Amino acid sequence: MIESDTLIIDTTTRIFRELADPQAVLAANDDSWKAALWKALEEAGLTLAWIHEDYGGAGVAISDGFDILNVAGRHAVSVPLAETLLAGWLLEQARLHVPQGPMTVAMGSRAKPLRIKEGNLHGIARGVPFPAFADHVACVAVSESGPQVVLVKTESVDIEASLGMVGDELGQMVFNCAPAVAAAPLANTSGPEDIMLMGAAMRAQQIAGALQAVLDLSVSYAHERHAFGRPIAKFQAVQQNLARLAGETAAATAVAASAGDTINHAETFDAAVFLEVAAAKIRCGEAATEGAAIAHQAHGAMGFTDEYVLHRFTLRMFQWRDDF
């Protein structure tokens, strides 16, 4: 690992540890901690890490952005960092300047895609993460001249926000003649398929990071919890389960890293990228399912309580497993 990679990982870890520790977040009375966290992420250049300096970003490699997301997964982060990175990446593909502030990404369905006409966006996007927290939403829309990337302020969108399984916002955006801040044809992507692949690779990284945190929690708990006069980590059945969890974590980490490396070195999203990302998303999804079951079994009733952090990771893994 080169020095710049280490610096990015260390910086990201420090910010999350100081401002978004999962146990401290659980104990917080409100969401005011999110503003301080987002400000620190922006000041460190992490929210626009993938964006070239010419478009308002930090200009780091794709692999560095995936490292940031892995660390975010280890802290079960509940701000739209991944979504902002994806939105920024999408805007840069269309050679559009990337604004400051939190962003999210929205697309219509295959049957009813978003449409832009005369500079205004029309349509409905469902399952949009953090719709109310974001200042802007980057969209893929169809037009008479082909697919376009469209940037819209969320204040001009009708938002029907609800809470997903983890308690984070997951809502519907209705674009009723919403004025575009900027719009341009897609340049280096084939359309929504490439954005789905990029999103899937990002979620795989977050799952891999969360699994590492889940493994660390489970091992620590097994050494602290005593039964019949000794730590439960001494029992062979528990050791076997923790070994299985370590294997699932290692597998997810490996395939997520392989997908990220393939994207990092690819000039286009070709069949090789599709294979790597699809394999990573499938395997990380399997690891999330199996890993969560093992971790909750190791923790017993403790793992299901609101006061303990395990559910912040396992529920997010389930959400990320379903995304993209």
pLDDT digits (tens, 9 = 90+) for 4-29: 568 888 999 999 999 988 888 888 87
Q: At CA 69, angle to CA 284 and CA 110, rounded to 5?
A: 65
* Closest to 251 (Cα-Cα) out of 281, 271, 273, 221: 281
Whole-number Å distance between alpha carbons of 4 and 153? 34
DSSP, res 80: S
What is the average pLDDT value for the chain, to the nearest integer?
Answer: 90
pLDDT at 189: 57
pLDDT at 222: 94
What is the token pair recorded at 57?
A: 């970003």
Average pLDDT over every residue of 155-167: 84
DSSP for 49-74, written as a single string: TTS-GGGTS----HHHHHHHHHHHHH
pLDDT at 3: 53
Determine the distance from the C-alpha atom of residue 314 to the mean position of all C-alpha atoms in its chain, rounded to a whole number.
Answer: 14
pLDDT at 8: 86
DSSP, res 99: P
* Closest to 204 (Cα-Cα) out of 137, 263, 158: 263
Helix (H) or strand (E) holding 275: helix 271-299
Q: Is 80 exceeded by the pLDDT of residue 1?
A: no
Q: Exposed, middle or buried, 13 (CB in 10 Å: 0-12/13-18/19+)?
A: middle
Backbone φ/ψ region at 25: left (φ over 0), alpha (ψ -120 to 50), beta: alpha
pLDDT digits (tens, 9 = 90+) for 265-280: 998 899 999 999 999 9
Q: With cut-offs at 50, 70 and 90, classify the pLDDT of residue 302.
A: confident
CB 98 within 8 A of CB 88: yes
CB 309 within 8 A of CB 214: no
Listed range (59-63, 116-120, 153-157, 243-247) with the worst mean pLDDT? 59-63
